[in-house]
A and B are shown apart, each in its own frame.
Chain A
Amino acid sequence: MPNRFVFLLAALLVIAGVARADDYRLRALRMIQNDFQAKGQAGLDRLETDSLQHVCNKYSDKPPAPLLRLVEADQLATVKYPADGRLMGDWREGEKIAQSGRGFTWTDKPGLPVGGNCYNCHEISPRELSFGTLGPSLRNFGRNRGNTPEMRQYVFSKIFNAKSFNACSAMPRFGYIGALNEEQIRHLVALLLDPESPVNQ
């Protein structure tokens, strides 16, 4: 009998703990809604979380597996593939897009084109030594994975909406939010997969 009580007590404490964390989360959210002002292109609408952000915030970036699969399927459904089916552009243009980290801050001019921010987080071409490490290295990406139609589609989808394959990934949804257009994403696909690209040298 005492065991059951201990168990019950423990369960109640856990529930109380979760409730408290949720309480702070809600209060923080309310506080944030009060404490920001629009500036430049950064309007207050940016504080309204969409369903993906809501799920990642709620589960601290680790949603339970069934929910994770649902969310990822939802995100994958947002990917718009080029009507002509062409997924490879020019890796030289891709390199330029990968270099730029501009865009979307309140000090940036609104509108396109914005940068791909790729080198901020990834090692890509061996010629660029100033690269970040938040994301995995993409050196030899095409050489290791092959320049197949499936791989081209995967890379296009990943750049268009990174959350399609990892719901709470740190990587932005460049195509979905309209930061990169179809043509720019094509160039980035070429940067990673074209055998001539320095990435694969």
Chain B
Amino acid sequence: MRQSIAIVGALAIVIGSLCGQAAAKDAATAEFDKFREVMEDSNPAELFEAKGEDLWQAKRGPKQVALAESCDLGLGIGVVKGAYVQMPRYFADAGKVMDAERRIVWCMVEKQGFSAEELFRTPFANENFTPEPTSLVTYVAGASRNMKIAVPISEPHVQDTYQLGREVFSFRAGPYDFACATCHGEDGKRIRMQQLPNLAKKDEAIRAYQGWPGYRMTGGFMLTQQWRMNDCFRQQRFPEPRYLSDTVTSLLTYLTANANGNVYKGPGIKR
């Protein structure tokens, strides 16, 4: 992973130069955005897209079936292009509204015969390990690059899930009385230097979506939106949301549908 070392080095230089600056508040965010733009020309996420494509095409699992010949992401069996930006959506065969990762894992279990228990055991990447669903999500997301987000919000199941997600977004609990909305319900706020998008607003909700799945430079691994929601709840001081649960799907439905109409730029880079 020579590439990831180079990236961490470059990041260290950027951070180092920022720390020295005095009145650099929002300038710091702007600098990072510039740096990210440069980095995205040779985005390490592409490695995971390639890996994910191999996994998508290969006959695998106890049933020796390829996802490409068995998995319907909403646009027909094997159709990947444009599927990511049209999820979460309702899948009649599962009787559920599902986000991309949930659907992919559902296909791996139902079509390929993989063990759900095993897939749920280590759902998120670390320095030494990338879960297969993470690579698959990255591949599927890459196939929606530069396409408009279009969650089918008028479909009744999706609409219902959206309404539930809105309630999850504003539910306050835990030792600090925090809801998602406590930090993400107002315009132009920050935690320390970190800009907080108002995720209830159409033109800002895209900021929670853009760049995911993302290659995390500190550590050098790929993370999905399922991970992002998990880590939000951690910081909210909540217990842990179950992987691929209705609660996480409803939240993703709310956030993604709020960003409908914006152009998705594909898998990205995160700090």
Among B171, B241, B245, contact of A57 (Cβ-Cβ < 8 Å): B171
- With a cutoff of 8 Å between Cβ atoms, the chain A residues found around residue B250 in the complex are 28, 31
Identity of the chain B residue whose Cβ is nearest the Cβ of A134 in the assembled complex: B189
> A106–B236 Cα gap in the complex (Å)?
10
Among B166, B175, B238, contact of A172 (Cβ-Cβ < 8 Å): B175
Contact with A along B224-248 (1 / 0, CB 8 A): 0000000001110111111001111
Cβ of B186 to closest chain A Cβ, rounded Å: 8
Given A35-B247, A57-B170, are A129 and B23 neighbors across the interface (CB < 8 Å)? yes
Among A129, A132, A172, contact of B177 (Cβ-Cβ < 8 Å): A172
Cβ of A63 to closest chain B Cβ, rounded Å: 13
Chain A interface extent, by class: 35 or more
- With a cutoff of 8 Å between Cβ atoms, the chain A residues found around residue B178 in the complex are 170, 172
Q: How many residues does chain B have at the interface if contact means C-beta atoms less than 8 Å apart?
A: 43
In the complex, B130 has a CB within 8 A of chain A? no
Instruction: Tell me if B238 and A36 are in contact (CB < 8 A).
Output: yes
Contact with B along A50-73 (1 / 0, CB 8 A): 001100110011000000000000
Instruction: Tell me if B235 and A49 are in contact (CB < 8 A).
Output: no
Contact with B along A74-116 (1 / 0, CB 8 A): 0000000000000000000000000001001111000000000
Instruction: Tell me if B177 and A36 are in contact (CB < 8 A).
Output: no
> A3-11, A39-47, A185-193: which lies at the B interface?
A39-47
- With a cutoff of 8 Å between Cβ atoms, the chain A residues found around residue B191 in the complex are 120-121, 132, 134
Cβ of A156 to closest chain B Cβ, rounded Å: 19
> A104–B237 Cα gap in the complex (Å)?
6
**Which residues of A approach B to under 8 Å, CB–CB?**
24-25, 27-29, 31-32, 34-39, 42-44, 46-49, 52-53, 56-57, 60-61, 101, 104-107, 119-121, 129-134, 163, 170, 172-173, 177, 179
5 contacts between A and B (CB under 8 A): A35-B242, A42-B174, A43-B239, A56-B172, A57-B171
**Which residues of B approach A to under 8 Å, CB–CB?**
22-25, 163-164, 166-168, 170-178, 182-183, 186, 188-194, 196, 233-235, 237-242, 245-248, 250
**Pairs A-B, 9 closest by C-beta atoms:** A28-B167, A35-B245, A35-B247, A172-B176, A39-B240, A132-B191, A42-B239, A36-B239, A46-B174
